[in-house]
Amino acid sequence: MLQFLKRLSRSSKPRNDAVEAPVDPKAYRVFTREFDVVTHAGELSSVIGPMSGEEKADLRQAFDTFKDALLGWKTKARIASLEASNELRNVKTTEDLENTVVTILVDHSRSMAGRNMLLAAAACQIAMEFLGAMNVKLEVLGFTTVGWRGGKCRRLWEQQGKRAAPGRLAETLHIIYKSSELAYREGRAYLLEPMLRLGLLKENIDGEAIEWAISRQMDIQAERRIVVVLSDGVPCDDATLSANDTNYLSRHLKQVIAQTEMQGAVELVGVGVGYDASQYYRTSARMDEIDDLGTTLIDVLRDALKKDFA
């Protein structure tokens, strides 16, 4: 007994040669959230800088030009939304629709620049009119990064010695275009022009963006929750992928989706623009013709709302 107590006493003393447990390089981590930003669309200038007079003029000219060019496209999408509205009213009660919240989460990666983002913004406007007519609660959100290749986050990691497997090194930028509390008429002003801003679209951390969208939904009173993710490719951030393994962000996205689908509180739908979203999402749609985005988004929303939710 005496020998046992002596061994116990020795083992209870602090050891100077203790080492930290090894880090699992595949486990998802965030190096720091210090530089992450969540902002409303009307306040983007405080994050990415104000536009010059020339940039404002160019944006206004592009907006006016594309607005006229979208007239035929919008007519087609509005006809589709009217047909979908009539179909839904035949199978869903007013109470069913009013107790539903939908989030449209838009990928703001650089590859979405130009026509893709224009039609994404226009499709969100059509969806806003479609859901607003049925009193379905709606949020429109966007996700990108504040800077390229990690920005301040990566520089801090370098200053601290570049530890191995640091996790996510980007500064995420999450944008609120329309909150569930914002009236539909007011929300229209925060869609097209802000999404077309120069310098806004950078890199994309999809898994965390979905977690953010869902966390916002959980604060909204509703019985049914649907998140539609509109994206044109896989998650990508150069700083994160170069400091971790190349599947780091993609693996996290799959984990977030799998966990969400398993829990069942939120329905996820992936809409792929030029890529197959079914590699991630159980329920998905693919568009190879970007002009079909408006009608495809309406079809996705109709099918999701029409389906019985267990």
Task: Kindly tell me if the per-residue pLDDT of 193 is higher than 90.
Answer: no
28-44+54-306 topology per CATH: Rossmann fold (3.40.50)
Residue 18's pLDDT is what?
Answer: 39
Of 44-48, 144-148, 256-260, which range is least confident? 44-48
Give the mean pLDDT of 301-306. 94
pLDDT at 310: 53
Residues 169/31, Cβ–Cβ less than 8 Å: yes
pLDDT in tens, 16-41: 443 444 567 789 999 999 999 999 99
Domain assignments of the chain as residue spans, ordered by start: 28-44+54-306
Angle between helix 71-91 and helix 293-306 axes, rounded to 10 deg = 10
What global pTM score does this model have?
Answer: 0.88
∠ Cα 68 82 74 (to 5°) = 10
77 pLDDT above the threshold of 80: yes
At residue 62, what is the residue type?
Answer: A
Q: What percent of the chain has pLDDT over 70?
A: 87
Q: How far apart are CA 88 and CA 55, in angstroms?
A: 43
Identity of residue 255: Q
Can you give the length of the chain in residues? Answer: 310
Is-contact 149 227, C-beta < 8 A?
A: no
DSSP-derived letter for residue 223 is: S
Reply yes or no on whether the pLDDT at 10 is more than 60. Answer: no
Residue 252 DSSP code: H
Q: Per residue in 205-234, pLDDT tens?
A: 999 999 999 999 999 999 999 999 999 989
Tokens representing residue 120 in the block: 């994404």
Please say whether the beta carbons of 285 and 272 come within 8 A: yes
Mean pLDDT within 107-118: 89
Residue pLDDT, tens place only, 247-266: 999 999 999 999 999 999 99
* Mean pLDDT to the nearest integer, 267-287: 93
